[in-house]
Every structure is written in C-alpha cells, then in structure tokens.
Chains A and B, each alone.
Chain A
C-alpha cells in the first residue's frame, strides 16, 4: 500500500509506476473515505451449503431492468435472449392490433400534450413525483410476461432471478419492480447486482471508471475492487441526444416547407431510428487542441481521418415514409454528428455556465476521477469503461477518451481550475514537471519497459522508484512475479485508457454462470412479508469487519440468512 501511495505522490498524466507483483487487497479499501459499499462479495464467495445439497439444480434468470429496455436471458449466454422495449405499441390493450394496420403504421404520431420527449417509451424515471407506479407495475408485468412466455420458455420450476439494477434506485421503484418479479413471476429469490459493477466484470476488470451513458442520465461510477466508491451524474445522455437529433431533423425537413404550411415534426421513433442508424460523433476537433498537448498516444488513423477534407461533401439520404407526403431527406453526413456534439459535449458553452447536473461528459468524467483518492484514480483512469445504449454511437468512445486525455494533459490532477494571479508561477512549475517527466520517460523506455511488452509499454516508474542500476533481487522478484503472478498488463495504471465491456447484462450472466453470490439477496417470503423495510440496515456495517477478521471466503455464518440487506441500494 505504501508503495502505491508513494507512486502517486507525483501524479502526472503519463506517469505510472512500475509493475510489481502486488495485488490490491479488498481490505485496503475498507478505510477509504468514500464509505465503501459492497454489492458483490469478493469473488471467492460461493454458492455453497455445508454438507451437500448443492444448488446446481437451481437455475437463474438474468434480468437487467433499464429505463427503456428490459434485457433478459440465462446465465452463461453472451447476449440476452430478448431485449424488450417499452414503446406505446407495447402498451395497447389486448386485442388492439392497430399497430399492424398499414394505414395506422404510415401515420406519424404526434406527441401527446404535456408529455415529455420519449416519455411514452420509458419504463420509469427516477423523478418519482411524476411517476405512476401503478402504471410502471403494469408495464413491467406485461413485458416480463412476454419475456417469460415468448423467450424464456421455462418449465414451471420457479427460477431465481439475478437482477441488474443501477445503484441508487429510488426505493419505491425498486419495491415495485421486485414486487412484480416476486408476484407475477413467482421468483423464489432475487439477487440484486449493481450495473456498474457488472459492467466492470464484463470488461474483465476489478476496478474501473464506469461511464454509463443511458437514457435519462449519464452516470460515472468509480469502481474499485468491485465496489462503488464514487458516483457522478449528468443529464447529458440519450434523451437529450435524441431530442437534439429531432431538432436537427425538423430543421432540415422544414427547410423546404412553405412558410404557411404546418411545420414538420418528426416523431420520437423517427429521431431514434436516425440516431441509431446513421448518427455518429466527431473526433476531437483540432482547434480545441491545446498547445500543451503532445500527441504521443493518439492513433495515426484518427489524425488522418480528421485531416481529410472530402471534396463532394458526403451525404446521407434518410427516408421518412411517415411524413405526408413521404419524403426523403438528403442531409450532410457531417451534420449527423452535430446532435452528439451539442448534447454530450456542448463545446460552445463555457464551463461555468453549466449546472452541476448537466456537465458535459468529459468534464463529468474528469471531475469524477479528480474526486477519487489518488491510488484509486490511478487504477481507474486506465480502466475507463464506457457503456450504456448511447455508447454505441460510432466515434463517441474515442471522442470521450481523447477529450479526457487532453484535459488531463492540460490540467493534470489539480482540483484548482484557475490560479488567478498565481497562474504564471504555476505554469512554470508545470512546465518544469513536464519536462522532467519527459526526460524520465525517455530514460525509462530505454531500459525496462520496452523489453517487457513492446505493444503496450507500461508507463515508466516515477523517479523515486527508478533504480539507477539493476538490482539482482528486484530482478528475481520480477521474475517470480511474472512466472507465478499475473502478467504486467493487469496492473496498468496512471494512463488514460479505455476498456470495452460487454455490458451489464453480460456481466450478470457471467456472475450467474460462475455462481457468485451477491450480497443483496432477497427471499420471496421475506419480501412479501415486509417489503423493502425488511432489510436490515446494519448489515452493511457488519460485513466489513467480518471479512477482515476471517478473510474473504467466510462471509456469512449460518444464521445470517435470517436477515438481508439492501447493500448499495440501502
């Protein structure tokens, strides 16, 4: 621990520490100020019941309930069996088949008055003041029934449910969701897992900075050793993006409309379709590039792409069959990247004009990193996992990583944004530091790291750790570490690096396949009796000392089943 802290003493963007066979310990984190929350037990927890009766026969259904889609499937599958949306077509009465009427299908539906953009397509929103929980229950019930009857096709045996939920879900919402799953789906027990952690699992990591660009909001969660240690949110997410796309399309479509004619307003479905089909995100604009930036790590392809100016500007023809009359919009390919620009990065607006809840994504991530403890930050910054529906937008991940990298290069990890009159002095110090770093980097690269792994040079050790001559013992230790321990790659830290994830659902599927126990396991009987209030509040506290005293592996004694906790959701 001390060495890792030491390594961070001089944190600088491209600096890391050398790789050693050290393993992060869960206990290390128990004392972090961010009050660790523990939804996933350390992975050496097992489904095990002393003296036989293995629960191998018990099978799970893996569900992820998002605000617009439910994903469901079985453990060990790489992708869910079904992804079910909550559109208005799914909410019709039984026997109302009008959506299959061609006349109805070709008609653009107007948004209902007083309804927010895309509200019809949501299952829930975290703002409970306007949420009809009864309706939520109805919607979820129907979708779950469809999933079970049309896709899962299970025999009547009751199945446990592994449910991936975003952390910090409001309790009334959770209680409703659980109620449906216990009530209509007759689940004997439900294990709750938090989605950022599952995304981490599905990326093959233990720690990560999970950026979930979802529908209503983007959440940035710092995960360290399978625990959420920090969370930041912004409303710059899918909803805003699709609204921007609609705005763009409306503008373009209305260009030819005579002034007197009614304005064309694209429907939610149309905007959504355009966004998912041809929407994209520009790479980082050059003009923004700071002089301090040294382009060592940007991919050459990216540069080339940016530089190329196509002479006939590429366009995309987008059909709008629901328009009256049906039309085809020819739109410049470049403008299809505008919504992402405006909704997620907002480069035109000065930073001080944003409210706290609407920070552009790169600032949000940067701030989240900044507020992590140094050693956690070092690990997390090299494990940026971008997930959520919007993250599929081509170019978005690249852009976020590039923006972030530029920011880190420019500002380092200094929470002070402006030094005012002291700015000049600070500049000088920074420059000095940077030069030193550069120097060290060059030296370091000559020596060890290059030989370790040519593809992915781990950052050189900071000066304090760089031994002037090869210590035979060190070398031997390194040998042993390499032979027995994990490969060096597993401990990369200190550089901005994006890691792909398969998503929370796949993570849940992995966890269920490996039969790892979640800390929040709710039994049907208990829930039906007490609801969420039945959860013991102090469980959270009792877990940590227990683990410390007995080591990972012995989590709960025999009687512990009697009470249950809500863990991260408490």
Chain B
C-alpha cells in the first residue's frame, strides 16, 4: 500500500455537483485489504469516486468561492520550464522547438527509463586525443548505445550528435539536406518522365534508394512538402500572398473580391485551379504496401524471439510509435517539467503560485484546504481493556499495530481524531452506514457521533488559561516506530471506551472512538 493504512481521503465538492448525494468526507474505515487486491479498499461505490477523492495535502481552498478546490477544479498555468535532470531552466521560446525535451546531455535509458550517463570507451592503454569514443550507458540495466550501434565523438552536445546518427551508426541527413535531396529526386523524376515521352529510353539514373524503407519521419516530411507544393501550385499568382507558410491565407479573400467584379470572375473560372492531386511517388509521401516488409518482420520475430521485442511501456516511451525491436530503440531525452500556478476554475483567483526560481521551493501564494477544513485522522486504539492486546502487551508496545491482520468478528477500536484549523469552534456530527457496502460487510459504530471541536485560538491564550485538557493530552505518549504508523499508548489516560462520550479533547481537537467489527469476506 502506498499510503500507510488508515488514511483519509476528502471528497471534493465538484463530485457533489455531478453526483447528487455523495458524502462530503470519507474517512477510511478499517476494512482490511481483501485478498483480491483489485477490489478497491474503500468501497466500491462508483469507480468514479476515484476521481474525486483526494488526500488533504492535494486540496486547495478558494477563499472567494469558499470551496475546496481539488486538482480537477483548478486551471493550471505554466510559469516556467526546466529539465528535471539537469535542473536548468529552459526559456519558453525554445521549449516547443526542442520538442519539450532537454537538449543538454540528459538522456534516459530506453529500456528501463533510468538516467543514462555518457562514458568513454577509451582504451586506457591507447588513449585517444578526444578521450572518446563516447557512449551512453544506463547504470541500472547496463544498456549502452552500442547496442543500437551508436558511438559519439564528443562527450558534449549529445543531442546534436544523436540527431545526425541513425541506429547502426549511419548518418542521418539534416532536415535541409533531406529537403534538397527530395528536390533533386523530384526533378530527376520529372526528367525521367519527359525522357520516356520523348522516346529516349536510356535514362540511366535509376538511383537505388540506399537506406531501405523511408522512416516515419521521412514519410511525414515528404507528405508535408508535397501538400505544401500542391497548395502553392493552386494559388500561383496571389498578390496578397506574403509568400511563406501563409502563402495562401488571403486566397479566399481574393476570390471573394473576384466574385464581385464581373470582369474577373470569368477569368477566374477559366483559371480555376485543378484540385490538388494525390501523392504519386515515395518522394511525395506515398508508400505502397509491400509484403516483403511484413515478411521481414515475421522472420525477425521468429529468429530473435521475445527478448528482442519491446514491451508496451517501452514502445510508448519512444518518439516514433512504429518501433518494434530493441534495435530500433533510441535514447530518450528527458522531458521537461514545469512549475505551475493554479487558479480556481470558476472565479479565476490564484490558489497557489510558486516562486518562479527553479531552485526555490517556496510559494508566493498557497491557499491550502487544510487551513479551512477540519482534519480527520484515524488510527487503531489499544487499551489494556482490549482482550486481544493484553496477551501480547509487551510485544505490542514495540510493534506497530498490524492493520493487515484484523480478524473478522473481532471488535477493534479506532480513534478518530478531528482537529479544527478555524478560529471558531465547530460542531461535528458523524454518520456511517452501520454496515459498510461492498463485498466485506464491516460493522462500524461511532460511539460518540456528535461533539464539538474547539476553536484554533492562540496558542498562548490557551497555555495561559491552563486548560487541563491539554495537560492530559500532553501526558499521552506513543512510541513512534520507524514506519510512521501507529503506536500504542504506554500510559492509559484512563479513558474507558464508553458510548456517548468523547475520548479526549484538546484546544482545537477532539477524538472519539469508533468500534469496528470486520466482516467476513463474502466470497470465502
């Protein structure tokens, strides 16, 4: 379990607004985790409850709306970007062009996701001048970039080097080069087709593609270039066109103008551009299905087996979605993180705003729900009157209460502690279904369902008034274990579990006892 067992979740009001009669606060009842872990421990109300229950520390409070604001009823706005690995701030202008990834040497292992380091392959007996060649090494699973045939010449600027290096060590032409190459080939194709028409059959330049099937990126670039050229061809002479990506934006405008002037409309009709055509060659992004690629993949699967293929998580982490084999992996540049402020979704007031400096962990504004709503916590209560505990009292004093071993039918007492952050006393009324819903019917009784919790008055006022309550509270000590879990009262404060009485009360807190009788697993 991620949370130490008795934990408290708060339901945000946004859930109420959707589903009518939902309780506003749920304190987890002591239902033992069933064998079937998949059953949610807390009940089985709707699976949608998972989206509206939050630990207190995740809740904010909007003072204008006087409402709790959970992570879904806030709007987040990015304040700045940084790399989680090197902790450098990245200016917003380059975030997007870098693909939201760090361009320093922050790489993660594509196999296990842990950070990869740049290490040298240098032969200590034959050191090279640059100290290289270098490679990326995952210190966790020992994956190296050699497995995909990549070595670096320098230990800096890995991103730039990686952009030029394909798996297996071949160089990837840069974007510009590819563009040029495409132009050249298109031109060549044109010539070829002309040659065919003019009868000169001897067009020798059937330059074979050197690098197998084009990559996903290549196809995309080809397609994109093709569409752009087609669109440009459709608006050949547009005086309004600013001639670049926007080349054709005002075209409709000019057409509308043309419609109104009768003299040009005729001309317009004659010049009506042919609709753009389809891509016709691989250079334009057309890829015909070829059975041989399929067969090649199957053959590879057959020979290389399971270990060479990628798990779904590894695939999803890759930049290109088409990868299948370990040899296709690419090191993953770490994805940037953001510092975000939060605003209330309905009134737009700022609920939290961290200081913008990356290294700072402070907040300029932070409106926490815990300063506005009572805090509930639950823990097991051991008293000497508890029959089961007395036998092993000595052991129990050291060992934390084991929440996993609640036995069906054996009543256990839990202490529900409610503390009040407000400067006014609050009156609390508790209710619980006597039998918890779900598969395991546990009987829960609140021994004192209605009580007051004092105001969060000034500490010194309280101390000066010399309240005996606090003294009593101070007496009670628990031996905390490393688990941070529960402890056991070493000094019984004399309180017997009694219906209708609160267990203990302090300046701004009250605790009451719940009796829980774990039910039987309905299945067993």
A–B proximity contact (CB within 8 A): yes
| A interface residues, Cβ below 8 angstroms from B | 23-26, 42-48, 50-51, 54, 56, 74, 76-81, 83, 85, 88, 91-98, 100-101, 104, 107, 109-110, 112, 132, 134-135, 138-139, 141-142, 145, 148-156, 184, 186, 202-207, 225, 272-273, 276-278, 280, 283, 298-299, 301-302, 305, 314, 316-319, 333, 384, 386, 392, 394-398, 401-402, 451-453, 478-479, 482-483, 485-490, 497-500, 502-503, 506, 509-510, 513-515, 550-555
> Quick one: which of B234, B277, B303 has the most chain A CB within 10 A?
B277
Tell me the minimal C-beta distance from B272 to chain A in angstroms.
Answer: 6
A203 and B286 contact, Cβ closer than 8 Å, known pairs A134-B19, A149-B76, A489-B280: yes
Shortest beta-carbon distance, A217 to chain B, in Å? 21
Interface residues of B in 70-92 (CB under 8 A from A): 71-72, 75-78, 81, 92
User: Which residue in B39, B279, B291 is a CB contact (below 8 Å) of A205?
Assistant: B279
B179-219 CB mask vs A (1 if < 8 Å, else 0) is 00000000001000110110001000000000000001101
B299 to chain A: which residues have CB within 8 Å? 305
In chain B between 256 and 276, which residues have their CB closer than 8 angstroms to a CB of chain A? 256, 259, 268-269, 272-276
| B194 closest partner in A (C-beta) | A483
Interface locus among B137-145, B318-326, B461-469: B318-326
Given A93-B9, A94-B58, A280-B301, answer yes or no on A141-B51 (Cβ-Cβ < 8 Å): yes
How far does the alpha carbon of A45 sit from the alpha carbon of B39 in the complex, in Å?
Answer: 53
The answer to whether A482 touches B194, judged by C-beta atoms less than 8 angstroms apart, is yes
Q: How far is the CB of B484 from chain A (nearest CB, A)?
A: 15
Q: In the assembled complex, which residues on chain A have CB atoms less than 8 Å from the CB atom of B279? A: 203-205, 490
* A155 with B92: CB separation less than 8 A: yes
Is A486 in contact with B280, judged by CB distance below 8 angstroms?
yes
Binds A, one of B225-233, B408-416, B447-455, B508-516: B225-233
Complex partner residue of A54 from B75, B246, B340, CB under 8 angstroms: B246
Q: In the complex, A515 Cα to B224 Cα: how many Å?
A: 12
Assess the B100–A50 pair: CB atoms within 8 A.
Answer: no
Give which listed residue, B75, B78, B217, contacts A78 with CB less than 8 A: B217
Binds A, one of B307-315, B358-366, B382-390: B307-315
Q: How far is the CB of A207 from chain B (nearest CB, A)?
A: 8
**Pairwise interchain contact B278-A490, C-beta atoms closer than 8 A:** yes
Do A500 and B288 form a contact, CB below 8 Å, given A149-B340, A395-B295? Answer: yes
Write out the residue numbers on chain B whose beta carbons fall within 8 Å of the beta carbon of A156: 77-78
Residue of B with least CB distance to A386 = B289
Q: Check A301/B292 contact, CB under 8 A, given A278-B301, A510-B224.
A: yes
On whether the beta carbons of A551 and B269 are closer than 8 Å, the reply is: yes
B53 and A317 form a contact (CB under 8 A): no
Assembly CA distance A487 to B50 (angstroms): 57
**Are B338 and A149 neighbours in the complex by a CB distance under 8 Å?**
yes
Hey, which chain A residues are within 8 Å of B324, CB to CB? 392, 394
Out of A26, A77, A94, A153, name the residue touching B275 (CB < 8 Å): A26
- Asked whether A45 and B252 contact (CB < 8 A) given A23-B275, A25-B275, A489-B280, the answer is yes
Q: Give residues 418-467 of B contacting A (CB, 8 Å).
A: none
B2 touches A (CB below 8 Å): yes
Q: Identify A48's interface contact among B47, B219, B227, B250, CB under 8 A.
A: B250
Alpha-carbon distance A451/B192, docked complex (angstroms): 11
Contact with A along B32-70 (1 / 0, CB 8 A): 000011110000001110111111001000000000000
Would B50 and A93 count as touching, CB distance under 8 A?
yes
User: Please, which residue of chain A has its CB at the minimum distance from the CB of B287?
Assistant: A500
Report chain A residues within 8 Å CB of B472: none
Q: How far is A375 from B90 in the complex, measured between Cα atoms in Å?
A: 55
Q: Does B281 contact A (CB under 8 A)?
A: yes
Please name all residues of chain B whose beta carbon is closer than 8 Å to the beta carbon of A204 when the two chains form the complex.
223, 226, 278-279, 284-286
The answer on a CB contact under 8 Å between B320 and A79 is yes
Sorted nearest first, the 3 A-B pairs with minimum C-beta distance are A204-B279, A498-B289, A97-B2
Q: Which residue of B lies closest to A92 (CB)?
A: B50
Rounded to whole Å, the gap between the CB of A316 and the closest CB of chain B is 5
Q: A490 CB to closest chain B CB, in angstroms?
A: 4
Question: Which single member of B2, B231, B276, B311 contacts A95 (CB below 8 Å)?
Answer: B2
Contact A141 B72, beta carbon cutoff 8 Å: yes
A513, B321: Cα distance in complex, Å: 20
List the A side residues contacting B189 at CB < 8 Å: 487
- Contact between A91 and B216, CB atoms less than 8 A apart: no
Most buried by A among B7, B58, B294: B294
Q: What residues of A have a CB within 8 angstroms of the CB of B301 in the complex?
A: 278, 280, 316, 333, 394
**A553 CB contact (under 8 Å) in B54, B249, B251:** B251
Which chain B positions have C-beta within 8 A of A186? 75
With A56-B246, A451-B196 known as contacts, the answer to whether A23 contacts B3 (CB < 8 A) is no
Verify if B520 is at the interface (C-beta below 8 Å from A): no
Question: Known contacts A50-B250, A202-B223, A487-B193; can you find 6 more A-B pairs with CB under 8 A?
Answer: A23-B277, A81-B99, A277-B306, A278-B306, A482-B193, A490-B277
**A-facing mask of B90-126, CB < 8 A → 1, else 0?**
0010011001100000000000000000000000000
Residues in A whose Cβ lies below 8 Å from that of B71: 94, 145
For A139, the chain B residues whose CB sits under 8 A away are 51
Whether B278 contacts A206 by the Cβ 8 Å rule is yes
> Quick one: closest A residue to B299, CB to CB?
A305
Report chain B residues within 8 Å CB of A316. Answer: 301, 305-306
**Docked complex Cα distance between A299 and B285 (Å):** 22
The residue that A100 contacts in the complex, of B2, B50, B235, with Cβ under 8 A, is B2
Nearest CB on A from B233, distance (A):
10
Which listed residue (B46, B227, B273) contacts A514, Cβ 8 A?
B227
Known: A78-B220, A554-B259. A515 touches B50 (CB 8 A): no
Q: With CB as the reference atom, state the residue of chain A lying closest to B309.
A: A277
Is B252's CB under 8 angstroms from A278's CB? no
Contacts of A278 in B (CB 8 A): 301, 305-306, 309
Could you write out 13 A-B pairs with CB less than 8 Å apart? Answer: A46-B250, A83-B316, A100-B2, A101-B1, A151-B335, A206-B276, A283-B295, A299-B291, A394-B297, A482-B197, A490-B279, A506-B220, A514-B227
Whether a CB of chain A sits under 8 angstroms from the CB of B255 is yes
Closest to B272 in A: A551
Contact B291 A44 (CB under 8 A): no
Min distance, Cβ B433 to any Cβ of chain A, angstroms? 20
Is there an interface contact between B252 and A79, defined as CB atoms closer than 8 Å?
Answer: no
Residues of chain B within 8 A (CB-CB) of A513 are 224
Which chain B residue has the least Cβ–Cβ distance from A80? B321
Q: Is there contact, CB below 8 Å, between B37 and A554?
A: no
Inter-chain CA distance A451–B99, complex, in Å, is: 46
- Considering only CB atoms, which chain A residue lies closest to B247 in the complex? A46
Q: Out of B280, B302, B322, which one reaches A314, CB within 8 Å?
A: B302
Report whether A486 and B249 are in contact in the complex, using a CB–CB cutoff of 8 Å: no
A276 in contact with B48 given A490-B280, A500-B287 (CB within 8 Å) = no
Q: Residue B248 at the A interface, CB < 8 A?
A: yes
- Per-position 1/0 for B395-418, Cβ under 8 A of A: 000000000000000000000000
Complex contact A152–B100 (CB within 8 A): yes
User: B176 at the A/B interface (Cβ < 8 Å)?
Assistant: no
Contact B312 A48 (CB under 8 A): no
- B249–A154 CB distance below 8 A: no
Chain B nearest CB from A202 CB (Å) reads: 7
Q: How far is the CA of A514 from the CA of B224 in the complex (A)?
A: 8
A515 CB to closest chain B CB (Å) equals: 7
Contact B249 A46 (CB under 8 A): yes
Docked pose: A306 CA to B228 CA in angstroms: 43
Determine if A553 and B255 form an interchain contact, defined as CB atoms under 8 angstroms apart: yes
**Residues in chain B near residue A112, CB distance under 8 A:** 38-39
Smallest beta-carbon distance B523→chain A, Å: 10
Residue of chain B at shortest CB distance from A304: B295
A132 and B223 alpha carbons, distance in the complex (Å):
40
Q: Which of A104, A110, A207, A305 counts the most chain B CB atoms within 10 A?
A: A305
- Interface membership of B478, Cβ < 8 A: no
Expressed in whole angstroms, the Cα–Cα distance for A554 and B255 within the complex equals: 7
Q: Are B223 and A510 in contact (CB under 8 A)?
A: yes
Chain A residues within 8 Å of B311, by CB: 273, 277
Decide if A134 touches B18 in the complex (CB within 8 Å): yes
Known contacts A94-B54, A554-B255: A109-B288 contact under CB 8 Å: no
